[in-house]
Amino acid sequence: MKRKTLTQFLIEQQRKEEALPAQLRLLIEIVARACKAISHTINKGALGGNLGSLDSENVQGEVQKKLDVLANEFLIDANEWGGHLAAMASEEMDTIHRIPNRYPKGEYLLVYDPIDGSSNIDVDLSVGTIFSVLEAPADASGREIREEDFLQPGTRQVAAGYAIYGPQTLLILTVGTGVYEFTLDREMGSWVLSDERLRVPETSAEFAINMSNQRHWDAPMQRYVDECLAGKTGPRGKDFNMRWTASMVADIHRILKRGGIFMYPWDKRKPDVPGKLRLMYEANPMGFLMEQAGGVATTGYARILDVQPEKLHQRVSVIMGSREEVETVAAYHREASEST
Ligand code: P6P
């Protein structure tokens, strides 16, 4: 049977689900095309002369990889002219990027991490591009877009997804009607539908966390992981496996495909910072995908998609994946807050 391309799939979604306006379809096609260019550049490795770091830091204070900046430029160049965006925001840019006056403006806001996990690029581990799409506020059409126009909770996303640059190059997408996987056919240069119903198994015995931070977590987090490590004879009554690739896209993709729980919790070394990962372009898009696939995404105390952003680059504690496991962690956080 001939597989559908991304274009065919989106046109069918547009017909079937009125929720897919033409400008949103164009946005997704353009972001997908930019991810192809990013994949092509990454795959060149050392031969492309783009490995290694720049002597610059991004707004997060992280050393920028050459490919971080290049991928960010790919996404800006691909999207600026299309007339579908009102503005863009990126992990790699301090402030929002408004569409230049020489181009028409659209009704969407694109928030993205051009390359997540970029510290893995130089050692050839999977990395990815994460994106989230919001609608510009209705009153914004007659004025300049402001940063606060982006500060919408994750429930307001109209689309989200990621590209993962690994043994295969995949695009994982939701427009609110489930989670779909497209595989890049390099010979044809097209994204081909390879899985149209990603579902996260309700239960799992696989957890993902950076164990080297264990002594810095709060009590509920310690309790959950201790019980995972206690295995069959412990309170959970089953042995667990552990995976940590230090690339959110790779860990989340594994969980979307076979279940598990991903955790990047609060850490007492930075008590005023809720977590390492960013709300707008990591936790929210991944949380939308996780929920659309039947999983759960929480800060430990609240649904991630309900968090009201106060700053563009704000961080959040992230616990997401198989329902049974995430709900166990959330229950331990509730018990801890009720006992204080
Ligand atoms: P650590 C990559 O830098 C990232 O933002 C996520 O992709 C990943 O899950 C996490 O940080 C890894 O953090 O502290 O284990 O290196």
Identify which of 276, 280, 320 to mutate to test ligand 1's pocket (most ligand atoms within 8 A of the CB): 276
The pTM is what? 0.96
User: Which atom of ligand 1 approaches the CA of 117 most closely?
Assistant: 2
The Cα 62–Cα 102 span in angstroms is: 33
Flag whether 276 is marked binding.
yes
Q: Which helix (H) or strand (E) element contains residue 43?
A: helix 22-44
Q: Between the CA of residue 2 and those of 5, 184, 193, 219, what are the distances in Å?
A: 9, 15, 10, 52
| Measured distance between the N- and C-terminal CA atoms of the chain, rounded to whole angstroms | 59
Q: Are 217 and 205 in contact (CB under 8 A)?
A: no
Which distant-in-sequence residues (6+ apart) come within 8 Å of 170 by Cβ?
A: 163, 164, 181, 182, 183, 184, 194, 253
For atom 15 of ligand 1, the residue with the nearest CA is 246
The Cα 293–Cα 131 span in angstroms is: 17
How remote is the CA of residue 267 from the centroid of ligand 1, in Å?
14
The Cα 190–Cα 272 span in angstroms is: 45
Flag whether 130 is marked binding.
no
How remote is the CA of residue 290 from the centroid of ligand 1, in Å?
18
* Ligand 1, residues at Cβ distance < 6 Å: 116-117, 119, 210, 246-248, 264, 276-277
Per-residue pLDDT of the chain (340 residues; tens, 9 = 90+): 788 999 999 998 888 756 689 899 999 999 999 999 999 999 998 888 877 778 777 777 777 778 889 999 999 999 999 999 999 999 989 999 999 999 999 999 999 999 999 889 889 999 999 999 999 999 988 889 999 999 999 999 999 999 999 999 999 999 999 999 999 999 999 999 999 999 999 999 999 999 999 999 999 999 999 999 999 999 999 999 999 999 999 999 999 999 999 999 999 999 999 999 999 999 999 999 999 999 999 999 999 999 999 999 999 999 999 999 999 999 999 999 988 7
How remote is the CA of residue 246 from the centroid of ligand 1, in Å?
5
For atom 10 of ligand 1, the residue with the nearest CA is 246
142-167 pLDDT, tens digit per residue, is 889 999 999 999 999 999 999 999 99
Query: ipTM for the complex?
Result: 0.98
233-269 pLDDT, tens digit per residue, is 999 999 999 999 999 999 999 999 999 999 999 999 9
What one-letter code names the amino acid at 141? S
